[in-house]
Amino acid sequence: MSGNDDQIAYWNGPIGEKWARFQTVMDANLSEASDAALALAAPKAGERVLDIGCGAGTTSRALAAMVGPSGRVTAVDVSRPLLTQARSAAVPANLEFLEADASVQAFGADHDLLFSRFGVMFFDVPAAAFAHLRGALKPGGRLAFVCWRPAAQNEWVSLPLEVAMRFVPPQPPADPHAPGPFAFADPERLRGILAKAGFKDIAITPFDGHMNLGTSPADAAFQVVNLGPTARLLHDADDDTRAKVEAAVREMFAGRQKDGEAIRPAIACWLVAAKA
């Protein structure tokens, strides 16, 4: 058993199954951040890469194409539903999907790059996890990932949560450093974690973009209510409450929409780079 057991159970339950079903939607939603993270990582032909928290494998396939036949990508996730989705299409010869907890899994120290798109914020003891992962890098190997800035700066979270809070009992203050999407929102804390893990040349750069939720307020409301932090808030809510929240979020998006244009709430991320 590892300290990440709660997260492993969570991503192997209904949430993991739901994210797997909506892979195409989520890939579209996260495309701007994905492109920015891949550009930061800049994998080269022939390199060996670890994709940490690879989910349904979209970034893994992109990395495999970038390193080419002479390179190798090992894509790691704890979620069996997401990995099942990742393996549902033909897997390139230079790509392997591995169901494992990356914070404790034994890897050879022969990797050029550690990469992650929103997959490294869930470790129970992050400094220890990153120290372990650093051991998978060659001397001078690179770390590159994207993670979320504070929830208040991310409209895809803050807008529906503000609506949903009207329908649920008051919530106790959340631990800002607990494993979860916004665990690395504080850049100085993140810098300290990486330094403690032995990384150097740490660069943390803000990235601002948008999440394209389509032109339908109903579809947009369904997405944010069923995936992400709003879904977590409503985890124990009854069906009536969920329906009321979704209707109110739909109305909120409709009120913000202009002339049928795409609904594009802001996203705010950190692009993080470091060396072993």
* pLDDT tens string 21-65: 999 999 999 999 999 999 999 999 999 999 999 999 999 999 999
* pLDDT tens string 150-208: 999 999 999 999 999 999 999 888 899 999 999 999 999 999 999 999 999 999 999 99
For residue 2, is pLDDT > 80? Answer: no
- Residue partners of 216: CB distance under 8 A and separation at least 6: none
CB 157 within 8 A of CB 129: no
Sketch the domain layout of the chain as residue ranges: 5-153+172-212+265-275
CB 191 within 8 A of CB 202: yes
Residue 94 Cα to chain centre, angstroms? 23
CATH architecture of 5-153+172-212+265-275: 3-Layer(aba) Sandwich (3.40)
Q: What is the predicted pLDDT for the residue at 174?
A: 85
Mind giving me the DSSP string for 9-56? HHHTSHHHHHHHHTHHHHHHHTHHHHHHHHHHH---TT-EEEEET-TT
Q: What is the predicted pLDDT for the residue at 3?
A: 67
- If one counts every other C-beta atom within 10 angstroms of the C-beta of residue 152, the result is 12
Q: How confident is the model at residue 15 (pLDDT cuts 50, 70, 90)?
A: confident
CB 199 within 8 A of CB 130: yes
Among the ranges given (16-20, 164-168, 251-255), the one the predictor scored with the smallest mean pLDDT: 16-20
Q: Which contiguous run of DSSP H or E holds residue 237? A: none
CB 130 within 8 A of CB 197: yes
Q: Of 131, 91, 140, whose CA–CA distance to 111 is shortest?
A: 140
For residue 98, is pLDDT > 90? Answer: yes
Instruction: Report the distance separating Cα 176 and Cα 24, nearest Å.
Output: 30
